Structure 1
Amino acid sequence: MTARVGLFAAILTLGLPVTMAAAQTVMVVKPIRAGTPIAAADLAFGDGTSADGFSDPRDIVGLEARVNLYPGRPIRIRDVGAPTVIARNALVTLVFRRSGLTILSEGRALGRAGAGEPIRVMNLSSRTTVTGVASADGTVAIN
């Protein structure tokens, strides 16, 4: 299995096209805990198919595991996501921009999100729940 992982990492590093049999899917080689970034060395091809799984490892490298991942099980699309920039219960700045007007407020994240992902936040001033989009700098843009 180690030689397979080394070859796999070399293919990703060189940017060579990955070819594989139709009945293979991307799996992890060791258990990965939720919240851990996924590296090329963590991945290998396994036998089997999954309708909502990955067939190209380049689609997974750099993403974060949203759930615990185990060897021998295909990685599904909903199991990974963008690296977390806002953690649950974190204090965040809410930003509302419209026609040259900018309003800033403080809120508490009700979930976790990566850059560009939707997130629910409780506005601490009004105690209302709003939905916005997480930014890479940790702020939440409200539409």
Structure 2
Amino acid sequence: MRWLVLLLGLLPHGAWAGQVIANRTLPAGTVIAATDVSPAGDGPGDAGDVAQVVGQQLRVMVYQGRRIDPSALTAPTLVGRNQIVTLTYEKSALRIEAEGRALSAGSVGQIVRVMNNASRVTVSGRVAPDGTVIVQQH
């Protein structure tokens, strides 16, 4: 049993935790900025680790001085539930835009349901990087 504890103690701890540390207490839902985190060690890849974390959104609260686990990160939410969004339909030279209300939250590339405010019809569409919802014909 002692050799198992010794063996676990010799393993690199970086494999178990994230490579960046929170500079302040970060609540769940925070989109991480460069000033919110710092490298955890003096390794050569630390600047790259910080760059990978910046712009991501936290799923859980992280306290000051704690490592940020990669599983606690997600793509930032662009469309919130009940948010007014622009619905876009494109086919060849035709482009139709309408206003709608998002029925669920979503990140870039996710499919969300949106209710068209004018017709009250519910449609599904993919969230674009600019926050619009692109509707495709089935």
Whether TM exceeds 0.5 here: the answer is yes
Which stretches of structure 1, 4 residues or more, deviate above 6 A after TM superposition?
A: none
Structure 2 matches for 1:51-66, cutoff 5 A?
Answer: 56-65=49-58
Structure 2 matches for 1:31-70, cutoff 5 A?
Answer: 31-43=25-37, 44-45=39-40, 56-65=49-58, 67-70=59-62
Unaligned ranges ≥5, structure 1: 1-20, 47-54
Corresponding residue of 1:102: 95
Q: Distance in 1 between matches of 2:130 and 2:107?
A: 10
Q: Which moved more, 1:70-79 or 1:117-126?
A: 70-79
Normalized against structure 1, the TM-score is what?
0.59
Corresponding residue of 1:75: 69
Count of matched residue positions in the alignment of Structure 1 and Structure 2: 113
Letter in structure 1 aligned against 2:13: A
- Change in CA separation of 1:33 and 1:103 when aligned onto 2, cut-off 3 Å: same
Q: Please say if residues 31 and 56 of structure 2, whose CA atoms lie closer than 8 Å, have aligned partners that are also in contact.
A: yes
Q: Does 1:122 align with 2:112?
A: no
Instruction: Find the residue that maps to 1:95 and give its secondary structure.
Output: strand
Task: Using the aligned pairs only, state the percent identity.
Answer: 35
Task: String of CA shifts for 1:71-103, please: whole Å, max 9, x gaps.
Answer: 346534463213x43222111111111132222
Q: Distance in 1 between matches of 2:13 and 2:92?
A: 53
Unaligned ranges ≥5, structure 2: 1-10, 42-47
1:140 CA drift (Å): 1.0
Larger Rg: 2
Instruction: Find the residue that maps to 1:89 and give its secondary structure.
Output: coil
Q: Please say if residues 28 and 69 of structure 1, whose CA atoms lie closer than 8 Å, have aligned partners that are also in contact.
A: no
